[in-house]
């Protein structure tokens, strides 16, 4: 890994990508992009308005219905997606530097947790174009009846800021593999890697209109996409609040299909027979990795009374040693929160934890030491004595704040684990594997990790139960989100 501090960032051209062309927004809109570690605005991204959205949707429709994309052989499509995956991999440091500058995550996390997995997802998706098949049905009567699995059409991929490259690739991979055309709308906070991805797609030879990139704000850019009758599907990752707006927009317009990857309040349940040292390390990274700005962050630890004090002592000691600072410095373990707004949200949650009676074991305030005073740095924070009704036990904070809760029997642990509106992920720590599997069946979550946490693989579906979302990203199951079935009946003559 290079020393990121000595690298010069390669920023994208400040233009929208529509129909293969770099264009300025029709109304000249811009989005300032701030480096969360320094507070400096270092880029003016273009902001797409409704007229740009309309142009991009038409370009995507053309590419999908009559352009070269619609006629391209599946094997050629596969090669193009592979080229994009390989180009992203080759330029991973360049992308990671920009990701770190716009998001505040460490350079190391940007490579390992964002850009490299994004490239891997595209590579995995590149294997699918000539393997997505239909079926022939054994129906009654004299018919030849088959099912075609067809691409859903024009997809608006609306993604958040915490893993801007990776989450874009989670949508792009299966959408492109199945032959859809895409309009990618990155978060207003982190538009740069998406714009660079658009440039890369053009460079490797994607035909015009297949991938359009429209930076901009939730409103009007995202809203205009969500309300456009030419969009067939929204692939969304973000907050529950925005998901509800998208559902309304779909209901009010053309009933476009939706997949929703939303937030979480994921519990890590630790039994007395667990390997405590491993559990502590996993809980530490589970909440402080990527600054806690992780949808599946293990933001609640439910620990058995017998292990509680030892666990807290070890975890707090580790948290106090955590190196918070310059995201580009290889020694840094935690960078800067993405925005001032996010920092204020975290502070409000800390205040609510204190006022509701939880015990602040460490952190709980901004880290303003030295050069950090200018950035959005926050100290790793652990609350103990957290009760299930408290806001810090119920609501997604999306920051480095851990809520530790105590249980004394399994039934209570399960009640607490399932006692929020979310159901994204959970983990169970015990050497009694039968107990772990039994509990895994009762936990309401789309992913359960046993004696591990935060494991991902392109072969493994990811997504939530309850208000954590609809549908799954990754794996063969993701392809279902981007295809629809057509049943064709042919009456056969008697022979």
Q: Which residues are near ligand NAD by CB under 6 A?
A: 158-162, 167, 185-188, 217-219, 222-223, 226, 237-239, 242, 245-246, 261-264, 295, 396, 398, 424, 464, 469
C-beta separation of 132 from 178 below 8 A: yes
**Cβ 213 to ligand NAD, closest distance in Å?**
12
Whichever of 109 and 396 has its CB closer to ligand NAD, that residue is: 396
How far apart are alpha carbons 396 and 461 in whole angstroms? 22
Counted residue by residue, the chain has a size of 495
Q: Beta partners for 21?
A: 18
The percent helix, strand, coil of the chain (3-state, each to 5) is 40, 20, 40
Instruction: Please indicate whether residue 362 is annotated as part of the active site.
Output: no
In the complex, least distance from residue 251 CB atom to ligand NAD, rounded to whole angstroms: 14
Question: Least distance to ligand NAD from the beta carbon of 425, Å?
Answer: 9
Active site residue 295: yes
State the catalytic residue, choosing from 166, 180, 283, 295: 295
Closer CB to ligand NAD, residue 342 or residue 430?
342
Question: b or e along 141-150 (b: 16 or more beta carbons within 10 Å of the residue's beta carbon)?
Answer: eeeebeeebe
CA 372 – CA 37 distance, rounded (Å): 7
Q: Which residues of 461-487 are buried (b: 16+ CB within 10 A; e: fewer)?
A: bbbbbbbbbbbbbbbeebbbbbbeeee
Provide the minimum distance between the beta carbon of 189 and ligand NAD in the complex, in angstroms, as a whole number.
7
Identity of the residue, 240 or 360, whose beta carbon is nearer to ligand NAD in the bound complex: 240
Identify which of residues 20 and 423 has a Cβ nearer to ligand NAD in the complex.
423
CB 131 within 8 A of CB 208: no
Q: What minimum distance in Å lies between the beta carbon of 297 and ligand NAD?
A: 8
User: Residues 352, 391: contact at Cβ < 8 Å?
Assistant: yes
Query: Min. distance of Cβ 160 from ligand NAD in angstroms?
Result: 3
- In angstroms, what is the minimal distance from the CB of 187 to ligand NAD? 4
Which residues contact residue 251 at a Cβ distance below 8 angstroms, ignoring those fewer than 6 apart? none
Q: Is 237 exposed, middle or buried (0-12, 13-18, 19+ CB in 10 A)?
A: buried
**Cβ neighbours of residue 136 closer than 8 Å, sequence gap 6 or more:** 144, 145, 146, 147
Shortest distance in whole angstroms from residue 195 CB to ligand NAD: 13
Closer CB to ligand NAD, residue 184 or residue 270? Answer: 184
CB 380 within 8 A of CB 322: yes
Strands 447-450 and 401-407: unpaired
Select 113 or 469, whichever has its Cβ closest to ligand NAD: 469
Q: Which is nearer to ligand NAD, 226 or 280 (CB)?
A: 226
Q: Is the Cβ of residue 217 or residue 285 nearer to ligand NAD in the bound state?
A: 217
What are the angstrom distances between the C-alpha of 315 and each of 32, 135, 155, 310, 396? 38, 53, 43, 9, 21
Q: Among 109, 261, 333, 480, which one carries the catalytic annotation?
A: 261
Q: 387: burial class by Cβ within 10 Å (0-12, 13-18, 19+)?
A: middle
Cis status, amide bond into 458, omega within 30 of 0: no
Annotated catalytic residues are: 261, 295
């Amino acid at each position: 890994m290079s020393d990121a501090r000595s690298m010069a960032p390669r920023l994208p051209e400040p233009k929208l990508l529509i129909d293969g062309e770099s264009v300025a927004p029709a109304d000249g809109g811009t989005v300032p992009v701030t480096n969360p570690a320094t507070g400096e605005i270092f880029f003016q991204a273009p902001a797409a308005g409704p007229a740009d959205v309309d142009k991009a949707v038409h370009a995507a429709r053309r590419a999908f219905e009559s352009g070269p994309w619609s006629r391209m052989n599946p094997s050629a499509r596969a090669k193009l997606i592979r080229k994009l995956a390989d180009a992203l991999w080759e330029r991973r440091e360049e992308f990671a530097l920009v990701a770190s500058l716009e998001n505040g995550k460490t350079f190391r996390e940007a490579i390992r947790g964002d850009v490299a997995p994004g490239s891997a997802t595209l590579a995995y998706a590149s294997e699918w174009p000539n393997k997505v098949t239909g079926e022939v049905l054994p129906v009654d009567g004299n018919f030849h009846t088959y099912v075609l699995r067809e691409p859903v059409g024009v997809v608006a991929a609306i993604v958040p800021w915490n893993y801007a490259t990776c989450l874009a690739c989670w949508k792009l991979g299966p959408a492109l593999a199945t032959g859809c055309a895409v309009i990618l709308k990155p978060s207003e906070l982190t538009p740069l890697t998406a714009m660079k991805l658009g440039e890369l797609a053009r460079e490797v030879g994607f035909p015009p209109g297949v991938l359009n990139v429209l930076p901009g704000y939730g409103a009007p850019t995202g809203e205009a996409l969500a309300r456009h009758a030419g969009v067939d599907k929204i692939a969304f990752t973000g907050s529950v609040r925005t998901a509800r707006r998208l559902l309304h927009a779909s209901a009010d317009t053309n009933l476009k299909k939706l997949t929703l990857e939303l937030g979480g309040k994921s519990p890590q349940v630790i039994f007395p027979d667990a390997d405590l040292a491993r559990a502590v390390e996993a809980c530490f990274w589970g909440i402080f990795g990527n600054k806690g700005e992780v949808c599946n962050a293990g933001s609640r630890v439910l620990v058995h009374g017998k292990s509680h004090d030892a666990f807290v002592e070890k975890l707090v000691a580790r948290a106090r040693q955590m190196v918070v600072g310059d995201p580009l410095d290889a020694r840094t373990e935690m960078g800067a929160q993405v925005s001032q707004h996010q920092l204020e949200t975290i502070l409000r949650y800390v205040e609510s934890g204190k006022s509701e009676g939880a015990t602040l074991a460490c952190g709980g305030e901004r880290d303003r030491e030295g050069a950090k005073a200018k950035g959005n740095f926050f100290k790793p924070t652990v609350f103990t004595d957290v009760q299930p009704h408290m806001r810090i036990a119920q609501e997604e904070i999306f920051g480095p704040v851990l809520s530790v809760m105590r249980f004394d029997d399994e039934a209570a642990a399960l009640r607490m684990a399932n006692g929020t509106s979310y159901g994204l992920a959970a983990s169970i720590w015990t050497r009694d594997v039968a107990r772990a599997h039994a509990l895994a069946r009762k936990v309401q979550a789309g992913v359960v990790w046993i004696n591990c946490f935060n494991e991902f693989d392109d072969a493994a579906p990811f997504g939530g139960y309850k208000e954590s979302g609809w549908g799954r990203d990754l794996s063969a199951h993701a392809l279902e989100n981007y295809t629809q079935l057509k049943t064709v009946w042919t009456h056969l003559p008697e022979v």
